Amino acid sequence: MKEKSFGARLVLSSRWAFSLFSACALLLTIAAARPKPAPRPAAKKPAAPVPTATPVPRPREVLFFETRLNGKLTLCRLTPDGSNLAYLDEAGQAFVPAPSFTNQGDDWSPAASPDGSQIAFYSDRGGASNLWMMDSDGSQQRQVTRSDVDICPMDLVRAGQAAFSPDGRRLAFLDQGDIWIDDLSSGQLGSFTTRHGVSAFDWAPDGKSIAYVQDGTLHLMDYDSRQDRVLLEHTVDWPVVQFEPGKGGRVLFFRNGAWLVDLKTGDLTHLYTSWLTPNSVSFAPQGGKICMLADSPEHRAEAYSVDLSGKATQVTEGGAEACLFSQDGRSLYFLRQGQLWVIGVDGRGARPLTYTRVYQPVSQKILISSREGQ
């Protein structure tokens, strides 16, 4: 076989190279025509866990009152639906569901701190009546004053013999007819008034002054300067004094009915007449109205709601011995034949909450610990 010439080999090589070049070009064209794959999304980092705040317990409304057990006055606590009745056990340092018959003294006149964590009250368990404090679940009961004589006589008609300042830093209380102050941060005790004869008092909403009744005269005293001003002389015939909620520009007092005195002008506003004493006259927590006892057309003591223009609405029907608003102002608690009842301010839904003898009820917002299971 004859060998191909150099020229023939060159022609064949050129054709092969051209075919190879064409094939490569075709592959490149096809590759270029293909759509490019979409870029993969970047992997997301796992979200950092959101820190959960420890839930802060909220105060809820609780009714306090005194009842007699085994001849001793015992503090009781009740939720407004009539459940969770509990009795203060001195030895057990708690409110317990079954009454304790081992308490050593009488306990009365409870008052709650603004945050609901502390309760002040009077007790004569040590012999003489003294001021005591405890946590709102009944634990940490501790004596504040240490007097060998009674600092405050037992009074089952009036409440408000002790009261925390609005910021919760101080506790005012009655001690032998004068107002004393317990500075809770330093533990120092000191007298606020020195004239004796004080029967009722109230902190101003800003905590800068205290209004008080002394021998029928209504006073206003500045807390820091101790400057005392007589608002009404020999006018108050039942020891009731309360600042109007909010800015506290007026003070409620009782003289043959409910009145307001303006602290700037001295102007008097007559709200409603009542000749009934004792009388539980007080503002609704939100202001705008008061509750009080007054004679009904049937000549029976009933609970009334009175707005600040003097318009009165009879709430109860069948008798009432004391009354106070619920914390939301929608209901009235009242006593009837010694039992505690609740009724809507529209006069509907009256029902008893207790079936035992109850003394002057007090509505508070307190913290109930989780360990109580309520």
**Residue span of the structural domain in which 172 resides:** 60-372
Distance CA(278)–CA(213), nearest Å, equals 15
| Residue 265 pLDDT exceeds 60 | yes
CATH number of the domain within which 102 lies = 2.120.10.30
Q: Determine the Cα–Cα distance for residues 320 and 356; give it in Å rounded to an integer.
A: 16
Mean pLDDT score, 320-331: 94
What pLDDT, in 10s, does the model give residues 42-53? 544 455 555 555
Q: What are phi and psi of 232, to 5 degrees?
A: -145, 125
pLDDT digits (tens, 9 = 90+) for 268-290: 999 999 999 888 899 999 999 99
- pLDDT recorded at residue 111: 94
Q: Does residue 15 fall inside a structural domain? A: no
- The pLDDT assigned to 22 comes to 45
Task: Quote the pLDDT of residue 7.
Answer: 42
Q: Is 166 a domain residue?
A: yes
Residue 203 confidence (pLDDT):
97
For 208-251, write each residue's pLDDT tens digit: 999 999 999 999 999 999 999 999 999 999 999 999 999 889 99
Burial of 5 (0-12, 13-18, 19+ CB in 10 A): exposed
CA distances from 19 to 4, 6, 15 (A): 21, 20, 6
Tell how far CA 25 is from the center of its chain: 86
Q: How far apart are CA 149 and CA 176, in angstroms?
A: 9
Residue 210: inside a domain, yes or no? yes
Decide if 212 is inside a domain: yes
CA distance 155 to 328: 27
Distant-in-sequence, close-in-space partners of 258: CB < 8 Å, separation ≥ 6: 252, 270, 271, 272, 274, 281, 290, 292, 306
pLDDT tens digits for range 246-257: 988 999 999 999
Q: What angle do CA 312, 313, 314 make, to 5 degrees?
A: 120
Angle at 190 between CA 158 and CA 106, to 5 degrees: 40
User: Per the domain annotation, does 41 fall within a domain?
Assistant: no
Question: In this model, does residue 56 exceed pLDDT 50?
Answer: yes
Assigned domain for 213 exists:
yes
Quick check: 371 pLDDT over 60?
Answer: no
Please check whether residue 367 lies inside any domain of the structure.
yes
Q: What total number of domains does the chain contain? A: 1
Residue at 128 is within a domain = yes
| List of residues 6+ apart from 7 with CB closer than 8 A | none
